[in-house]
Amino acid sequence: MSAHVPVMLAEVLKLLSPKDGEHYVDGTFGGGGYTRAILEAADCRVLGIDRDPDAIARGEALVKHFAGRLTLVQGEFSNLESYLGGERTDGVVLDLGVSSFQFDEPHRGFSFQGNGPLDMRMSRQGESAADFVNGADEKALSDVLFRLGEERNARRIARAIIAARPVTETAQLAEIVKQAQGPAAARFAIHPATRTFQALRIHVNDELGELERGLDAAANALAPNGRLVVVAFHSLEDRIVKRFLLGRSSAAPNASRHAPVTRRVHQTSFRLLASLKPGDGEVHANPRARSARLRAAQRLAA
């Protein structure tokens, strides 16, 4: 199993700017890389949140090491306001997507690199990927593959999956998708099942809905001058983060009074700080960083 390497750690720390006596939320604790760095950078406190019970169990060693300064909660980061109990936080960091631990453990079912049960549940609760692919009709399945995986051959793949049911293992699904893609699969720059696995994972965990709710919760929980730092790994996530921050910043375009109202209008509450990609050196050392995009903003004082 490969070690979890936090992406753009130096940039996250610089933008979060931890200070003594302050309080921070790591909404996607994972391997604890960001949390450890924050706690080492200042005499502060961190609330770590993760849906995955395995991540919380791994983090107990850090809880003991940083006695009294780290609290871990198993749950969704969209509930961070309730976990804070009304307390404001000076910074929130979110590292979206699947963690290296989840990706590298075949029994979790997130990857086709090693065969395992078709699961993909971050919390280990609720509908699994196998439940969905074996129960959904062709339209529901193809819609998920197209919308969340941006898979152009979604209908063809959905039909192939339905014809092959029951589908219970990752290697089985990967082969079904590969065959459905046809001869063109040999020319793909990525594995032909990559977008299908991405779509199913996002659907099973409601990742985009969780992100939207989590951004709202972070905005509500941040103290004046508090900072929000988000690292996204694909365009669907990054688009949500970008629109959220632009829509609540002074950089948002002025709406015409003659234009129809198509979305909620928010009062300016953020100042944009950064939009960054990892450097070539980091991508070379950690290929999983290649698609990362970091966006950061600061809560206005008034």
**Of 108, 91, 12, which Cα lies nearest the Cα of 48?**
91
Instruction: Set out the domains of the chain in order of their start, with CATH numbers.
Output: 9-101+207-299 (3.40.50.150), 125-204 (1.10.150.170)
CA gap 250, 299 in Å, rounded: 12
pLDDT at 36: 98
Report, in angstroms and rounded to the nearest whole number, the Rg of the chain calculated over CA atoms.
20
149-175 pLDDT per residue, tens: 999 999 999 999 999 999 999 999 999
Kindly write down the DSSP assignment for every residue of 245-276, as one continuous string: HHHTBTTSPPPPTTSPP-S------EEEEEEE
295: pLDDT strictly greater than 50 = yes
DSSP helix/strand/coil, 218: helix
204-258 pLDDT per residue, tens: 999 999 999 999 999 999 999 999 999 999 899 999 999 999 999 976 555 444 4
39-66 pLDDT per residue, tens: 999 999 999 999 999 999 999 999 999 9
**Of 172, 287, 297, which Cα lies nearest the Cα of 245?**
297
What distance lies between CA 274 and its chain's CA centroid?
19
